[in-house]
Structure 1
């Protein structure tokens, strides 16, 4: 490339797609594709804000971001499908099964035993699918 040639800056959507592929792989793509026929604008928002803006920020690596995300979703106790996607993402970015189990157990202290139990059973399903 010469000095006069420049590549176009990556858009928020492009950054989001790249991050989604690195983090969630096919699971994330399936979520975006599932939204295409009902809420394509929401699919774009999902790519642009969390993945294009937040996940690509400096300050935390992807592994740390997934620890925080798994903990938050587990504590909510109402987002099992998203929790499973992010548990798989955690595995994708270097978390071990043992670390994911410990994150779930830690939630018993702050979110209660029911939330921790739900998260542990979600982890069990994710691990079985990954085997």
Structure 2
């Protein structure tokens, strides 16, 4: 792949990040870019551009984001990501009621402790989203 194509694909991924994330998501991307441009490339160009945009065209962004949120709640190790992807769901039109119902459903499949462990992150995301909506 040519250098210009790589740059174009990376910029396409960044554009999607700008649409999907509240400002703190962009701050996180800048931190990753500053820390390791190679890691940023894997996340943005290969992950967001290639997989989110090109390899999964049948799924809407809303559906993808709900799947990601459910999977990271199941993993139960990345609370920051739970908050970030909860915010993304809300930005894509998923309602708080739908997210809460997902938590109820996940309790059946992944267990009460995992769901309870993510509640603070979900509450924080709800508050961040509400604050963002006021602006």
What is the TM-score with the length of structure 1 in the denominator? 0.85
Unmatched tracts of structure 2, length 5 or more: 131-135
What are the Cα deviations for residues 72-115 of structure 1, in whole angstroms up to 9, with x where unaligned?
Answer: 01101001111111111111111111111122222212211111
Unmatched tracts of structure 1, length 5 or more: 1-7
Query: Is 1:73–2:87 an aligned residue pair?
Result: no
For this pair of structures, how many residues does the alignment match?
124
Equivalent residue, structure 1, for 2:40: 43
RMSD: 1.8
In the aligned structure 1, how far is the partner of 2:8 from the partner of 2:104? 38
The answer on whether the counterparts of 1:101 and 1:120 sit within 8 Å (CA) in structure 2 is: no
Equivalent residue, structure 2, for 1:33: 30
Structure 1 range deviating more: 110-119 or 68-77? 110-119
Residue of structure 1 aligned with 2:52, choices 50, 55, 75:
55
What is the TM-score with the length of structure 2 in the denominator? 0.82
